[in-house]
Amino acid sequence: MSYVQLYSMCSLVMSNTIIRTFYYFSDLLINKADSTKVAESWVGRKITVVCAVKVPESIQKNVMFSWTHIPSNRTVPREFHDDMRSKSFLAITTNKDEDFETLQCKAETKSTVKFHIINITKLSRCYIAQSHKNIKFKKTNSLNQALYWLKLVRIKSKRE
């Protein structure tokens, strides 16, 4: 299946007569279904986000990927993303506020450049989801408090 898309059409007109029509084709599309749209993280957590593209089989070379933090315009070094023919996987650890900025993936071939935006949501509190009928929802300010509380609830529910 070919993923070539008509990008634009332009006609050269002289004296109300079309002399020549130019077609520009895009040989690259963002694969939105396989790309990360939003990632949730907290300080100290390692996350991996994906930028996927559709590219026709006729394109022999891999797509060139690059990543940038928006709005600071910081480029992510290549050693942090693992690029394949049509996907790029970026692994980052969110430690400081700048790590929670929006990420922009740039995918390019010889003739086409496409961008994909990934929003990073910073979670400030740890929430324990209700996964068992005996476990009650509790909001805490730290992961250690949450784990300690969860252990106590599990011990208590086993005794009952």
3-state secondary structure 81-137: EEECCCEEEEEEEECCHHHHCEEEEEEECCCCEEEEEEEEEECCCEEECCCCCCCCC
pLDDT at 1: 38
Q: What is the pLDDT of residue 141?
A: 57
Average pLDDT of span 39-62 = 89
CA 15 from centroid of its chain's CA atoms: 49
Q: How many CA atoms does the CB half-sphere of 136 hold within 13 Å?
A: 6
* Same-domain status, 48 and 114: yes
The pairing of strands 64-70 and 74-75 is antiparallel
The DSSP call for residue 72 is T
Hey, which residues does 29 pair with through a beta bridge?
54
Domain that residue 143 falls in:
126-159
Q: Are residues 142 and 113 in the same domain?
A: no
Say how many domains are in the chain: 2
Are 104 and 51 in contact, with CB atoms under 8 Å apart?
A: no
Q: Are residues 13 and 79 in the same domain?
A: yes
Q: Which of 8-12, 43-47, 144-148 has the highest mean pLDDT?
A: 43-47
For residue 54, the domain's CATH number is 2.60.40.10
- Statement to judge: residues 45 and 87 lie in one domain: yes
15 falls in which pLDDT band (50, 70, 90)? low
In 3D space, the residue among 116, 118, 2, 110 whose CA is nearest the CA of residue 62 turns out to be 110
Q: Note whether 118 and 79 are same-domain residues.
A: yes
Same domain, 71 and 137: no
Domain co-membership, 77 together with 139? no
Q: Does 146 lie in the same domain as 117?
A: no
Reference 80, options 71, 69, 70; nearest CA is 69
Of all helices (H) and strands (E), which one includes residue 146?
A: helix 143-159
Place of tokens 């252990």: 151
How far is Cα 87 from Cα 122, in angstroms, rounded to an integer? 25
Of the candidates 93, 114, 91, 94, the residue with the CA atom closest to the CA atom of residue 104:
114
Answer yes or no: do 152 and 117 share one domain: no
Indicate if 76 and 130 belong to the same structural domain.
no
Residue 64's pLDDT is 95
- Say yes or no: 54 and 68 in one domain: yes
| Residue 80: strand, helix, or coil | helix
pLDDT tier at 78, thresholds 50, 70, 90: very high
Instruction: Indicate whether this model's pTM tops 0.75.
Output: no
Mean pLDDT value across residues 118-130: 69
| 61 and 137 together in one domain | no
